[in-house]
C-alpha cells in the first residue's frame, strides 16, 4: 500500500505541475480554459470557479487542460478567447510552460532536500578508488583522510583539487590519516581533461543544510547539471555509444517503491529526477508531445500561416499510437528485466 500512495504522490505532483504550467500561461494570455483535470476516466469530484471546472478523476496516470479552440471542430468560441486567436509566441508559451514547470518542480524539490537534509559537500576523505589509476597504484585506500599535499595542510576538497590539478605528471607527496596513523604516499597525477592532473578517486561527502536562497541556487544548479548529463546520455545512446536503457511505468513504480522504503527525501530526489526527465521528454519533437506542437507553431511563424489542422491532428494521432506501442514494448522489457534481477518478484 505504501508503494501505491508513493506512486500516486509522485505521479500526481509531476502531472499537477506540468498541467499547471499550461493552465497558468493560458489564463495569463486570455485563453478560455474549460477544464483542469488531474487523472483520466470517471470524475471523482470537481468544482467550478470563474468558468473553469477543476476535476479529480479516477485514474492517476495523467491529466489535461481543455482550452477553447484546441479542437478545430469547436464552434461558438468567444471572440479573442480561443487558442488560435493568440499570437504564435503566446501559443508557444502556453505549450512550453508545461515542460518548463517540470524543471521548476525539480528545482523546488531539490531545494527542499538541501534545506532540510543538506547539500552534499565533498570532504577530504577518500570514498572510492578508481582501479588502475594513480591513487590505486600508490596504495591509497577508501577511508583514508588526506592530511597534507607537498607539505601544505589540507582543509577542504578545494585544497585537494588545486594541489593535484596543477601538477599533472609531477611526483607529489601526500600524507594521509589511516586508522589514526599518518602515512606518507608518493603519487604521480595522470593528465586528465583540459590538461589537469588527476589521481582517480571520489571524495566522501558531508551534508550541509542551506538557507532558502542558497538551497534554490543549489537546486537550480543541480537541475541544470542533471539535464546536461541526461542530454549527453541521449546523444551517446543515439550514436550507439551507450545502451538504450529506457524505463517505463513498471520500472518507475519499482524505483518509487525502493525510494519510498528509504525515506521521504529519497522519494523527493527521485521525483525531481523524474520531473527533469518528463520535462525533457515532452520537449522532444515527437508527434503528440509538446515539443512537436511547438515545432508546428514554429512552422506557422515561418510560413505566416498555420499547418492544416486536420493534417496536424492526424500526425499527432499517429505519434500517440507510436508512443503507446513504445510504452508496451518498454513495459514488457521492464517486467522481464525486473524478474531476471529479482526472481522472487519485483
The catalytic site residues sit at 19
Q: Report the C-alpha gap between 157 and 138 in whole angstroms.
A: 20
Query: Nearest to residue 130, comparing CAs of 49, 189, 172?
Result: 189
Residues 6 or more apart in contact with residue 92 via CB below 8 angstroms? 294, 297, 298
Q: Report the C-alpha gap between 295 and 35 in whole angstroms.
A: 25
Q: Report the C-alpha gap between 335 and 50 in whole angstroms.
A: 45
Residues 6 or more apart in contact with residue 287 via CB below 8 angstroms? 315, 316, 318, 319, 320, 322
- Tell me which DSSP letter residue 144 carries: -
Q: Report the C-alpha gap between 10 and 4 in whole angstroms.
A: 10
Q: Report the C-alpha gap between 280 and 224 in whole angstroms.
A: 12
Q: Report the C-alpha gap between 344 and 103 in whole angstroms.
A: 36
76 close to 57: Cβ distance less than 8 angstroms: no
Q: Report the C-alpha gap between 13 and 1 in whole angstroms.
A: 18
Residue 210 CB coordination number (10 Å): 20
Query: Nearest to residue 248, comparing CAs of 345, 337, 343?
Result: 337
H helices within the chain, ranges in order?
A: 2-28, 88-116, 134-138, 157-165, 212-238, 249-262, 264-283, 290-303, 309-341
Residue 276 CB coordination number (10 Å): 25
Cell of residue 194, nine digits = 583540459
Cell of residue 39, nine digits = 487523472
128 close to 202: Cβ distance less than 8 angstroms: yes
Amino acid at each position: 500500500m505504501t508503494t501505491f500512495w508513493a506512486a500516486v504522490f509522485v505521479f500526481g505532483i509531476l502531472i499537477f505541475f506540468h498541467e499547471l504550467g499550461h493552465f497558468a500561461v493560458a489564463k495569463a494570455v486570455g485563453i478560455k480554459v474549460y477544464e483542469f483535470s488531474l487523472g483520466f476516466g470517471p470524475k471523482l469530484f470537481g468544482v467550478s470557479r470563474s468558468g473553469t471546472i477543476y476535476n479529480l478523476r479516477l485514474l492517476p496516470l495523467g491529466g489535461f487542460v481543455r482550452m477553447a479552440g484546441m479542437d478545430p471542430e469547436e464552434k461558438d468560441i468567444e471572440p479573442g478567447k480561443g487558442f488560435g486567436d493568440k499570437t504564435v509566441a503566446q501559443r508557444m508559451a502556453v505549450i512550453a510552460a508545461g515542460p518548463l514547470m517540470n524543471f521548476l518542480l525539480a528545482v523546488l524539490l531539490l531545494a527542499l532536500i538541501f534545506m532540510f537534509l543538506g547539500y552534499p559537500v565533498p570532504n577530504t576523505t577518500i570514498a572510492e578508488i578508481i582501479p588502475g589509476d594513480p591513487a590505486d597504484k600508490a596504495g591509497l585506500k577508501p577511508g583514508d583522510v588526506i592530511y597534507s599535499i607537498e607539505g601544505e595542510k589540507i582543509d577542504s576538497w578545494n585544497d585537494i583539487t588545486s594541489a593535484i590539478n596543477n601538477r599533472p605528471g609531477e611526483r607529489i607527496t601526500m600524507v594521509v590519516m589511516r586508522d589514526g596513523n599518518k602515512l606518507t604516499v608518493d603519487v604521480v597525477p595522470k593528465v586528465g581533461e583540459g590538461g589537469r592532473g588527476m589521481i582517480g578517486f571520489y571524495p566522501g561527502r558531508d551534508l550541509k543544510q542551506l538557507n532558502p536562497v542558497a538551497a534554490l541556487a543549489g537546486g537550480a544548479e543541480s537541475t541544470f547539471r542533471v539535464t546536461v548529463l541526461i542530454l549527453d546520455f541521449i546523444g551517446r545512446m543515439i550514436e550507439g555509444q551507450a545502451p538504450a536503457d529506457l524505463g517505463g511505468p513498471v520500472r518507475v513504480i519499482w524505483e518509487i517503491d525502493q525510494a519510498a522504503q528509504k525515506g521521504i527525501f529519497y522519494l523527493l530526489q527521485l521525483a525531481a529526477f523524474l520531473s527533469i526527465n518528463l520535462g525533457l521528454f515532452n520537449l522532444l519533437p515527437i508527434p503528440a508531445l509538446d515539443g512537436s506542437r511547438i515545432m508546428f507553431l514554429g512552422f506557422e511563424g515561418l510560413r505566416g500561416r498555420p499547418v492544416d489542422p486536420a493534417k496536424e491532428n492526424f500526425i499527432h494521432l499517429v505519434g500517440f499510437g507510436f508512443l503507446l506501442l513504445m510504452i508496451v514494448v518498454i513495459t514488457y522489457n521492464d517486467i522481464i528485466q525486473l524478474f531476471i534481477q529479482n526472481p522472487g518478484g519485483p
